[in-house]
């Protein structure tokens, strides 16, 4: 029976993280019922996932379980509500605190990095904020939207 489920899962199209039920997620290799419950709870509290890699912020989902489940999952093009996108060059503490995985320590670290080192030229430069950690940084990347300054010269 289990072999049949694995074979069906392997042949099926990837399961969409933003539409899947807890029962469907529980059948994904590397997840199981406990992680599936945590994923659905996180999604209900924080909104849709923008990437499969964003699962690392869910308690109990490790990078190892993510690697095992990765091919069986997808994240639909459901965009998070606009308050969930942020520009690290203009965001204030309150806006940063509303982001998934960001607490007061991380928000302050982002602001201090911006003050000390200047603008973030690319969203990937959030890596310079050591207090974020890899999981939080990966979760923030899809939400990061650098806005072009109105007065800036465009090429």
Domain that residue 129 falls in:
82-143
How many domains is the chain partitioned into structurally? 2
More confident residue, 27 or 76: 27
Q: Do 103 and 49 lie in a common domain?
A: no
Secondary structure element (H or E) that encloses residue 6, with its range: helix 2-11
CATH assignment at residue 64: 1.10.150.280
Question: For residue 18, is pLDDT > 90?
Answer: no
Q: Identify the bridge partners of residue 144 per DSSP, sorted by sequence position.
A: 86
According to the model, what pLDDT value does residue 134 have?
81
Q: Do 100 and 54 lie in a common domain?
A: no
Give the integer Cα–Cα distance in Å for 97 and 74: 27
Q: Do 37 and 66 lie in a common domain?
A: yes
Tens-place pLDDT, residues 116-154: 999 999 999 999 999 988 878 888 888 888 876 544 433
Q: Taking the model in full, what pTM does it have?
A: 0.47
CATH assignment at residue 91: 1.10.150
Domain-embedded: residue 138: yes
- Single out the residue in 25, 46, 74 at which a domain terminates: 74
Question: For residue 155, is pLDDT > 50?
Answer: no
Q: Do 6 and 67 lie in a common domain?
A: yes
According to the model, what pLDDT value does residue 77 have?
57
Domain-embedded: residue 151: no
More confident residue, 149 or 107: 107
Q: Do 70 and 122 lie in a common domain?
A: no
For 64, the 3-state DSSP assignment is helix
Average pLDDT over residues 27-54: 87
Q: Do 63 and 6 lie in a common domain?
A: yes
More confident residue, 75 or 118: 118
Residue 33 pLDDT level (bands cut at 50, 70, 90): very high
Give the integer Cα–Cα distance in Å for 39 and 100: 13
- Single out the residue in 74, 94, 111 at which a domain terminates: 74
Q: Do 34 and 68 lie in a common domain?
A: yes
Q: Do 22 and 70 lie in a common domain?
A: yes
Question: For residue 113, is pLDDT > 90?
Answer: yes
Q: What are phi and psi of 86, to 5 degrees?
A: -150, 155
């Amino acid at each position: 029976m289990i072999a049949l489920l694995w074979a069906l899962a392997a042949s099926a199209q990837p399961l969409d993280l933003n539409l899947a039920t807890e029962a469907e997620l529980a059948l994904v290799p590397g997840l199981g019922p406990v992680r599936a419950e945590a994923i659905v709870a996180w999604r209900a509290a924080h909104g849709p996932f923008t990437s499969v890699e964003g699962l690392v912020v869910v308690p109990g989902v490790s990078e190892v379980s993510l690697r095992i489940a990765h091919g069986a999952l997808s994240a639909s093009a459901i965009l998070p509500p606009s308050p969930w996108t942020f520009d690290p060059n203009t965001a204030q503490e309150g806006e940063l605190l509303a982001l998934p995985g960001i607490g007061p320590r991380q928000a302050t670290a982002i602001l201090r990095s911006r003050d000390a080192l200047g603008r973030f030229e690319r969203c990937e430069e959030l890596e310079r904020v050591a207090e974020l950690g890899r999981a939080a940084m990966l979760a923030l990347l899809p939400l990061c939207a650098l806005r072009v300054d109105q007065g800036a010269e465009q090429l």
